[in-house]
């Protein structure tokens, strides 16, 4: 798994927790399976842009801003490890 996918998963988890949503609630709102979201948050699975978009909409976050934030975190950490 590359850094970008791992960071995106971590950021999804942080947003979900900030919004006080359970995995099941986010799954219901976004229409993405519980297992897919869980694996993304754990860094075991990458998400396609359509899934990221659905998660961002469910979390009230602009998709472009979310992806830019993930990219900025990677840049600060020095890129792929």
pLDDT average, residue stretch 9-30: 97
Q: Residue 72: is its pLDDT beyond 50? A: yes
Q: What is the pLDDT of residue 81?
A: 45
**81 domain residue, yes or no:** no
**80 domain residue, yes or no:** no
Query: Per the structure, how many domains does the chain have?
Result: 1
pLDDT average, residue stretch 27-49: 95
Q: What angle do CA 22, 38, 62 make, to 5 degrees?
A: 70
Closest alpha carbon to 41 in 71, 75, 14, 18: 14
CATH number for the domain spanning 58: value is 1.10.260.40
Name the residue range of residue 30's domain. Answer: 3-72
**79 domain residue, yes or no:** no
């Amino acid at each position: 798994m590359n850094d970008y996918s791992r960071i995106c998963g971590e950021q999804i988890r942080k947003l979900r927790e900030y919004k006080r949503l359970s995995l099941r609630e986010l799954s219901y709102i976004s229409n993405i399976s519980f297992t897919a979201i869980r694996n993304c948050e754990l860094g075991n699975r990458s998400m396609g842009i359509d899934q990221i978009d659905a998660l961002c909409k469910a979390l009230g976050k602009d998709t472009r801003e979310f992806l830019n934030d993930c990219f900025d975190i990677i840049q600060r950490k020095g890129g792929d490890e």
